[in-house]
Amino acid sequence: MTDLVLLSGGMDSTAALAVSQHAGRLGAALSIRYGQRHAVEIDHARAITEHYGIQHYILDLSAWGALLSGSALTDPSVDLPYGHYAAESMKATIVPNRNATFLSAACGVAISLGHDQVVTAVHAGDHAIYPDCRPEFIDALNEAIALGTEDAVHISAPFVHVSKTQIAAIGADLDAPFELSWSCYEGGALHCGRCGTCTERIEAFRDSGVPDPTVYQSQAA
């Protein structure tokens, strides 16, 4: 009865890890390399697992990312969009079928390590742009994986109906180490403060009233 938490190193999965620990189910964390330009997030994930004293597994799917083209997250020839996360322009950051791939791979790893649940931090704010973050997708994949593994493992998506602002509040209540987390798609030395995911991060802290521990390089108005 333990969780393998998919930990990108961002604030959502950091809060999901805090929720799992609070529930007494925290087993280990799994981070995935897929050729993302912001691979610095993996170092942040490592620091977060050290904070919790849990095992951190890293799965290298960069060969998969290399076969994909056209996503701003993995293809250096595509420009990163700036502005609001929910905007149409953010579709450039779609990695095709990413969550089915990551969750399926993670479920195999969980079975092998003896965990019976994989936790993903997909949240309500992702629904507009990313079809593989919607509750009906998570439900359907859960059904498929239950059938494919004879119920050995399930997916939990505690934030699938929760906004990022609420995630900030929940995480703060549970002492999630947000100061160790990383959101920025640019993957520079500091959060850029202008890309879609920085914009979303800034809003979540501001709207929840949780102090934002992040140092931004610049900040859009």
**Shorter beta-carbon distance to a copy of itself: residue 41 or 203:** 41
68, 78, 92, 128: which one binds a copy of itself (CB under 8 A): 68
Q: From 73, 97, 98, 102, select the one nearest 4 (Cα to Cα).
A: 102
Residues of this chain, 21-60, that bind a copy of itself according to CB under 8 A: 57, 59-60
Please say whether the beta carbons of 20 and 26 come within 8 A: yes
Contacts of 166 (CB under 8 A, 6+ apart): 159, 208
50, 79, 88, 140: which one binds a copy of itself (CB under 8 A): 140
**Shorter beta-carbon distance to a copy of itself: residue 59 or 220:** 59
Report the nearest approach of a copy of itself to the CB of residue 214 (Å). 30
**Total residues binding a copy of itself (CB under 8 A):** 42
State yes or no: residue 63 binds a copy of itself (CB under 8 A).
yes
State yes or no: residue 167 binds a copy of itself (CB under 8 A).
no
**Cβ-count burial 88-119 (b if 16+ within 10 Å, e if not):** ebbebbbbeebbebbbbbbbbbbbeeebbbbb
Cα separation, 152 vs 146, in Å, equals: 7
Helices (H) and strands (E) in the chain, counts: 7, 5
Binding site for a copy of itself (CB under 8 A): 57, 59-61, 63-64, 67-70, 95-101, 103-105, 107-109, 111-113, 131-132, 134, 136-137, 140-141, 143-145, 147-150, 152-153
